[in-house]
Structure 1
Amino acid sequence: MMQRFKAALLQRRNNLHIHSLRFLNQFHTRNLCSLPDTAITDELDNQVLVEGKAWSRTAILNRPSVLNCLSTAMGARLQKLYTSWENNPDIGFVAMKVALLNGITMGGGAGVSIPGMFRVATDKTVFATPETLIGFHPDAGASFFLSHLPGHLGEYLGLTGQKLNGAEMISCGLATHYAHSSKLDLIEEQLGKLDTDDPSVIETSLEKCSDLVYLDNISVLHRIEILDKCFSHDTVEEIIDALESETSKTNDAWCISTLRRLKEASPLGLKVSLKSIREGRFQTLDQCLIREYRMSLQGISNQVSRDFCEGVRARMVDKDLAPKWNPPSLEQVSKDMVEHYFSPLSKSEPDLELPTELREAFT
């Protein structure tokens, strides 16, 4: 999971994190409400831990076995915590970090973490994007941030489910600072001593502990030219054709690997994800959250396809890595099928409501 620190509440007016969490809280609330009150309390407390300092608070995502993917319980707990911290004049800033799995930090919940003012990546950080390998997996605000990465890196990450390390996160702007993991305790200690919410003071403190970092020779960011060339096409079919053309000319290992991942993915998921990322380039974060909420509901409704459930089964339950996609090919995915994922589930299912009056717009 991705190790992340953030000054989420440096500007008291900015409740971006809270409205991202309300997206999660509205999603599957029925499941949470079906649990006994005591079970809900225990689940909330265990999945998000809290560390307190004199002038700061740290929320710790504590589901390392599932890569700290945000659950409804975590969203509800974070919303409750952030609201109380927002209203506490004695708390200058808030940080977030994650529990480790085998010493690695991986990113989940992009909509909660990435809008933070400061984001610290380390040598053990991995940023994981939504994967079309399990159907499609829209995440809160994912298309907004993927859409604003350099070139067509967003399409590449969104369609292949590939990951970025800490150095790559710095290079493309997903992280603001980089520090070796051995310095994390020092960073926490220094931040915990601050008695101000002045961003410049926090920035100075982080810079004192930051390290210079360079991209590995094998980083995909060194291939941004060929990546842009292939992933700039209008359709998934054209993207695959471009990669096949490059592969035939160069026998390049990256092209071969990328092609393999695309061909393993859900055809419907690929087309839905590409449309989502492309629309994100021309929408505000609020619009992206509303659209992705619709996509999430449509994905689990199974009205068009069971690809999301089938992908979860093949990757996470039976782990046979042999999903049976429906439709099974790109050619069989109609425009109407794709468009269906961007429409409200039904007249009785309300759209996502965001507390826009409580904060400044994040565009």
Structure 2
Amino acid sequence: MQCLKSAAALLIRSCCNNNKSKLSHSFLTHFPQHSRSLSSSPPTEDDLDNQVLVEDKANSRSAILNRPSALNALNTNMGARLLKLYKAWEKDSSVGFVTLKGSGRAFSAGGDIVNLYHLINQGKWEACREFFGTLYTFIYVLGTYLKPHVAILNGITMGGGTGISIPGTFRLATDKTVFATPETLIGFHPDAGASFFLSHLPGHLGEYLALTGETLNGAEMIACGLATHYTNSEKLRLVEHHLGKLVTDDPSVIETSLEQYGDLVYPNKMSVLGRIEMVDKCFSHDTVEEIFDALEREAAETNDPWFNSTLRRLKEASPLSLKVSLRSIQEGRFQTLDQCLVREYRMSLQGISKQISGDFCEGVRARMVDKDLAPKWNPPSLEQVSEDMVDRYFSPLGESEPDLDLPTKQREAFT
């Protein structure tokens, strides 16, 4: 993965009203549609294969996430198929590079968390463990991939969708890209490698994104280094056609091709880029309580509505998730990609076990199943979240629940 560079930019709630409405639709109302499929007939092997399609090009392969009605939400099968395909392509001398894109109006809205919600409530712990283990292992393989990789992030790119794209060589954003890691709003934490790449953003932009779950558009992604290239969506067919004709395994040749169709864009004047010093001032603190205090102090002194809107956003999130997520980003700043994934796997299994809190299932219920948008967090306030509760998220799983075993001896880890 290329280093995430400087020049901070970021999401703002007013990032783009159209994009925001897409995010709201996908995050709050779409997932229940595909959760109902759990009661239907089991998918056939052909159906499973069709969830990730393959296109053979002159000297490359293209994987296409193909669950458009579910905004390409990732499940265990998709992770396993991607893992199998990518390992085979890495060994194939006829494959120079690989591209990944989504069908429909999303790259990927993240993990299929409604399916996960049902698995938890059905007590299918092994299936839950397999879900996280498979996807996290693929992310590590992508992050250590020996061939150039191009992720085309046209449309919604959230949660796990960011994890299966950002560790690759190139990330192409467009005017339709909507990036977010909104896990705190469902009682979870930014995972799938998010604690690695968010913590490497300029300043304390990562803490801001992780805690608020706010969105970035394509221009902001390119400005802060989450994307490497930007192209208006109307030119994507030309880009893909050109990439399909390339016969190369040279990253510089691919980069030149992407630049050939690139567009020069800048975050608009309402972007948080203009407030980056305030983001650092408020989100650089060691505790969530100190972040709240800093935002409240600035709100009182400046009468700037941005501080109050940020506070309102934070108050929508699970108090426990806020504290867990902040610590995760802080630790990620000093860890390699594999260390972050192993830790996040531990956190994810602890977080869905209901032994510490039931916030994940409650958050998914409130926002995606019943859609009453009124989660009852436990604990309900920051003051009631003990240090012990947070520590338990990061504690070992035990002998019966081993940590994630990544192929670090065969594949070099990120530093």
Superposition TM-score, scaled by structure 2 size? 0.76
2:72 is matched with 68
Deviation at 1:250, TM superposition (A): 2.0
Deviation at 1:43, TM superposition (A): 4.7
Deviation at 1:102, TM superposition (A): 8.1
TM-aligned CA distance change 1:279 to 1:102, over 3 Å = closer
Question: How far apart, CA to CA, are the structure 1 residues paired with 2:106 and 2:260?
Answer: 28
TM-aligned CA distance change 1:42 to 1:123, over 3 Å = same
1:92 aligns with 2:96: yes
Equivalent position to 2:43, from 32, 39, 45: 39
Question: How far apart, CA to CA, are the structure 2 residues paired with 1:249 and 1:66?
Answer: 44
Question: How far apart, CA to CA, are the structure 2 residues paired with 1:291 and 1:42?
Answer: 35
SS of corresponding position for 2:323: helix
TM-aligned CA distance change 1:56 to 1:38, over 3 Å = farther
Deviates more, 1:41-50 or 1:320-329: 41-50
TM-aligned CA distance change 1:173 to 1:40, over 3 Å = farther
Structure 2 counterparts to residues 51-200 of structure 1, below 5 A: 51-101=55-105, 105-108=155-158, 109=160, 110-200=162-252
TM-aligned CA distance change 1:268 to 1:102, over 3 Å = closer
Deviation at 1:136, TM superposition (A): 1.4
TM-aligned CA distance change 1:102 to 1:295, over 3 Å = closer
Question: How far apart, CA to CA, are the structure 2 residues paired with 1:145 and 1:102?
Answer: 21
Superposed CA RMSD in Å reads 2.2
CA contact (8 A) 1:246 1:255 kept: yes
2:289 is matched with 237
Deviation at 1:351, TM superposition (A): 0.5
Question: How far apart, CA to CA, are the structure 2 residues paired with 1:139 and 1:106?
Answer: 17
Question: How far apart, CA to CA, are the structure 1 residues paired with 2:394 and 2:377?
Answer: 20
2:53 is matched with 49
- Residues 13-52 of structure 1 show CA distances to partners (whole Å, capped at 9, x for unaligned) of xxxxxxxxxxxxxxxxxxxxx99x9736245323222222
Question: How far apart, CA to CA, are the structure 2 residues paired with 1:93 and 1:234?
Answer: 42
TM-aligned CA distance change 1:40 to 1:249, over 3 Å = farther
Question: How far apart, CA to CA, are the structure 2 residues paired with 1:148 and 1:222?
Answer: 20
CA contact (8 A) 2:200 2:333 kept: yes
Question: How far apart, CA to CA, are the structure 2 residues paired with 1:161 and 1:268?
Answer: 15
Unaligned runs of 5+ in 2: 3-37, 108-153
Unaligned runs of 5+ in 1: 1-5, 8-33
Deviation at 1:57, TM superposition (A): 1.0
TM-aligned CA distance change 1:269 to 1:99, over 3 Å = same
- Residues 321-349 of structure 1 show CA distances to partners (whole Å, capped at 9, x for unaligned) of 10000001100100110010011233201
1:296 is matched with 348
Question: How far apart, CA to CA, are the structure 1 residues paired with 2:73 and 2:189?
Answer: 12
SS of corresponding position for 1:119: strand
SS of corresponding position for 2:409: helix
How many residue pairs get aligned? The number is 332
Deviates more, 1:258-267 or 1:130-139: 130-139
Deviation at 1:320, TM superposition (A): 0.6
Structure 2 counterparts to residues 266-305 of structure 1, below 5 A: 266-305=318-357
The one-letter code sitting in structure 2 at the alignment partner of 1:98 is: G
- Residues 274-293 of structure 1 show CA distances to partners (whole Å, capped at 9, x for unaligned) of 00000000111111000000
Structure 2 counterparts to residues 221-260 of structure 1, below 5 A: 221-260=273-312
1:218 aligns with 2:222: no
Q: State, as a whole percentage, how many aligned pairs show the same letter.
A: 74
Question: How far apart, CA to CA, are the structure 2 residues paired with 1:86 and 1:244?
Answer: 51
The one-letter code sitting in structure 2 at the alignment partner of 1:107 is: T
Deviates more, 1:132-141 or 1:101-110: 101-110
1:345 is matched with 397
Question: How far apart, CA to CA, are the structure 2 residues paired with 1:128 and 1:277?
Answer: 15
- Residues 74-98 of structure 1 show CA distances to partners (whole Å, capped at 9, x for unaligned) of 1111001111111211011100111
SS of corresponding position for 1:94: strand
TM-aligned CA distance change 1:283 to 1:359, over 3 Å = same
